[in-house]
Amino acid sequence: MTLKEASVGSTVTVKKINGQGATKRRIMDMGMTKGVDVYIRKVAPLGDPIEVTVRGYELSLRKADAAMIDVD
């Protein structure tokens, strides 16, 4: 399952970040690394952006970036 497919209000754990180069680096710079818990706070009506809480920080992710993050 990817972060994009996770339901609002759930907490998931990052398993793997797919992607390459600058996109992967940007996701990791947000604090999303393997084993980190991510809480999905809200998804915009059209699905973009996805608002999450990671390590106490509130972040917004694009759908395309969320689709690259495999979670449990």
Domain encompassing residue 59: 3-71
Question: Looking at the 3D structure of the chain, how many domains does it have?
Answer: 1
Query: Which pLDDT belongs to residue 20?
Result: 87
With a cut of 80, say whether residue 40 has pLDDT above it: yes
Please, are residues 22 and 33 in contact by the beta-carbon 8 Å criterion? no
With a cut of 90, say whether residue 48 has pLDDT above it: no
With a cut of 80, say whether residue 28 has pLDDT above it: yes
With a cut of 80, say whether residue 47 has pLDDT above it: no
CATH number at residue 30: 2.30.30.90
Closest by CA to 15, choosing from 58, 23, 6, is 6
pTM of the prediction? 0.86
Query: Which pLDDT belongs to residue 46?
Result: 79
Amino acid letter, residue 1: M
